[in-house]
Structure 1
């Protein structure tokens, strides 16, 4: 086929037709197919296939009905202007999937660009222009873009020209009705630009000029037919610029709740009752570590195979006796999977001293009797997360001015050396300060202070356990600063999601986010006992 006969196929048509083998037909038939594709090129800006209903859209995303209806109200009726919208939330919360399926429901034309695949400004600009100009890179055009664009000023001019041409085409071609229900038509003359993974732009060399440009596109172009939708994993507070911009309308996607995750994982299960009994065992402990669907799916797949091993028939409905048998079979593998999910390997299970450690722990439990739960916590948490939680507790309870003296090279200060016999007046002042402290609650601290305390106490813990028996081999593997610091930000995010640590506002002087520990002193002491960490030596008593 010559260059003059090469069809201009849009991105969505290319994805649909790329799976099929190109057929070798007569040039006349190829020419007819080319003319057909060219005449319907405007319709390729929407999803092909049968349009989904609103009920199908809501049922596809359990727990997101409120957000779906909110976004539909923001988009408004056909051809209504849209204020720039900013969707943000954690990973795997349904932001991108929901907005794309909404356009499949509404059958409105849109342009999608991911800032991960479009990893610099030139590729991002050219990707948007190629889709607006209905241009596809192929061998006939040398895999070149329709327009070469590197400067933001050129992008604005080319974007205005391409949008004007496309809007005129949409006005002249409102969509052709088809007898087949599976075909889609373009609804309206609004064109929506979707920028996904916008937080990646902050790492670009020219991010200081690209971000204000993208946020100000609506005001620069002044085209009511243009709608801008930004998708990011971080909030608007993380996008700072010296030039300033009009902030788009924010829409927050929270993490899925435990009930939402259950509904998601129960969809399309061959044996719902069997899988429901499996979720009763694994969903709650895993939700304390992560609520990302991709991570949970990766962890649940091998666990469910282990859970079904004692069953001869996978279609059987387990009774209470069978559930207890399945739980006993699965229980040893849950802890391993929990540690793998939290990116911390549980080394004692892999060492020969595991049996000795288990026997010692059993004997200790017998000696404690009724107080056996004092040194144990009733939920699973990795070693690095425990030390991070202790660090946050100390940062909230201790004054920042005493960090240098409390976390010195001697392994903490001795409170007994600092005690002096005070007068009645000093004792009254001390009681007054303690009451004020109790009324104020735990203080806030920046991330830098948390990391510094975390590094100090983990290095001290490694020193304290350096001469002990291999029963603390897990601490040797996890206690080093290099091993624990590698995953510190992920652990902090998990603790914030579990409400062990809360994230406060940014300090106007420091310009960084501040955190606050929400656990009680009893909980902190219980966690410290599980690590055999001397928390009282590092806790400042007024």
Structure 2
């Protein structure tokens, strides 16, 4: 490890999967052509890049990039822990890696998604610091077996001491050789990506205080910690007495930023720009994740280019051509919008049959539906369920959630109908009047998601008999990815004033929401889904 490295480019070109690609001063291998790892393996690979190029590569992120560069400071500047947070696909990981590529400083990158428990995380960090890579020669073993936090701190201090010593030795050689450029500095940066996932680990109550307290426990100014999370620092604080990391917020991309990102690397930017003029805004109302938008818009753009010869290569669209292409793609936009969230609408034939059956069985209900009418705007299926969930959370007392959303998917009014006494009826009327005077109530995010999961899972039940294998809604709700998408939809509904977002409750510490839609609109949305809203509404 003390041999002088030649100025060759590092073998690793990215650090996105660095948690699984680390290696050591591996003992000279028996007949294997494996190279001994060097300190250069702690650098982010690739050609050098300027700060201006990084800013140009990430539209709408110049303030965050400059702030991080300022906090990292000049070479060998001690840095307090940093906490970068924001929604998915907001550029957090890519920006920090590109900045370290620009600065040419050593980092140890570990993702808490691939390192899904504390042992794997500990061993991943130690493998990189000890320059150890698992291979055939070492029987794919780790540099250290580490399961206990106390062992991790001891091993980490030893490994960091060795690495810092080598970095200082390398810097001294450059200074003695009168080499101004090419130095990596003496500071090592530990980067923990997807840090919010640690909260779901079995021993999160132990690992979270440990990682947050590392800076104080190590007491090594040459070590800096960077946490990258999908949630804000408020979701972690619990009076643990550690040095609070400096927060850096990454907001969702604006529509203009997304447009710039999607236009890059397009063969015909003028044609794609005309396509984004008609397709981007509806999708941005649902999600701001660049990856999802890119995936959803790709087949739609191919459909947009169908009337053009040679897939629109070299075509400069005129106003008349734009109108014709828009008319061609218009019928396909609605179906593509529903595909973004993977929450499927009931087949049209089943909806029609269900409509006829229900209307025949209850003529009064049929008349009521006809009076309500259809929605005069488009909304994805899962957004409709979320809107209904917020309406129920605002109108129903929280104490009735358990009885309304039971394991059978709601209350069974037929079983619960009893002859009520006059006192009970009077008390019910008084309570209804009080609820009416108070107006829609507020509710926390946890309650909204719980109601959303219940009504979406119930929505599949009428069709289970005909299609036993069709259980997409219930399955999706158990998936964490859908919950993150629901949060994005919630933001869109708040921006559209369907849901009001209030301030944090001083007692609970969580943000409160309130539905602003009328009962008439809620019934319209429920009717479009064939959802029995009155069955779950306390005041009916």
**Where in structure 2 are the equivalents of 1:278-317 lying within 5 Å?**
278-312=275-309, 313-317=312-316
Name the residue aligned to 1:424. Answer: none
Deviation at 1:401, TM superposition (A): 4.8
Name the residue aligned to 1:214. Answer: 211
CA 1:50/1:376 → structure 2, altered by over 3 Å: closer, same or farther? same
- Partner-residue secondary structure (3-state), 1:13: coil
1:489 aligned to which of 483, 496, 507:
483
Q: Which has the larger radius of gyration?
A: 1
- Partner-residue secondary structure (3-state), 2:226: strand
1:15 has 2:12 as partner? yes
Deviation at 1:399, TM superposition (A): 3.4
Relative to the length of structure 1, the TM-score reads 0.74
Name the residue aligned to 1:410. Answer: 413
1:171 aligned to which of 155, 168, 184:
168
Spell out, residue by residue over 1:258-277, the C-alpha distance to the aligned partner (whole angstroms, 9 max, x if none): 11111110112221110011
Relative to the length of structure 2, the TM-score reads 0.74
CA 1:350/1:287 → structure 2, altered by over 3 Å: closer, same or farther? farther
Instruction: Output the CA distance in 1 between the equivalents of 2:67 and 2:152.
Output: 32
CA 1:461/1:206 → structure 2, altered by over 3 Å: closer, same or farther? closer
Name the residue aligned to 1:275. Answer: 272
CA 1:430/1:280 → structure 2, altered by over 3 Å: closer, same or farther? same
Name the residue aligned to 1:451. Answer: 450
Instruction: Output the CA distance in 1 between the equivalents of 2:91 and 2:293.
Output: 15
Give the number of aligned pairs: 482
| Equivalent residues of 2:393, 2:451 under 8 A apart | no
Instruction: Output the CA distance in 2 between the equivalents of 1:526 and 1:353.
Output: 16
Spell out, residue by residue over 1:388-432, the C-alpha distance to the aligned partner (whole angstroms, 9 max, x if none): 312211321343356689874228999xx9999xxxxxx999999
| Equivalent residues of 1:79, 1:190 under 8 A apart | yes
| Equivalent residues of 1:388, 1:454 under 8 A apart | no
Name the residue aligned to 1:26. Answer: none
Name the residue aligned to 1:160. Answer: 157
Spell out, residue by residue over 1:34-55, the C-alpha distance to the aligned partner (whole angstroms, 9 max, x if none): 99x87x9333322344321111
CA 1:227/1:450 → structure 2, altered by over 3 Å: closer, same or farther? closer
1:225 has 2:228 as partner? no
Name the residue aligned to 2:522. Answer: 524
Name the residue aligned to 1:397. Answer: 395
| Equivalent residues of 1:167, 1:189 under 8 A apart | yes
CA 1:65/1:430 → structure 2, altered by over 3 Å: closer, same or farther? same
Structure 1 runs not aligned, ≥5 long:
18-33, 178-183, 358-370, 421-426, 467-472
**Where in structure 2 are the equivalents of 1:80-95 lying within 5 Å?**
80-95=77-92
| Equivalent residues of 1:288, 1:494 under 8 A apart | no
| Equivalent residues of 2:118, 2:207 under 8 A apart | yes
| Equivalent residues of 1:208, 1:241 under 8 A apart | no
| Equivalent residues of 1:395, 1:453 under 8 A apart | no
Instruction: Output the CA distance in 1 between the equivalents of 2:449 and 2:96.
Output: 37
Structure 2 runs not aligned, ≥5 long:
15-32, 176-180, 357-369, 405-409, 424-428
| Equivalent residues of 2:287, 2:488 under 8 A apart | yes
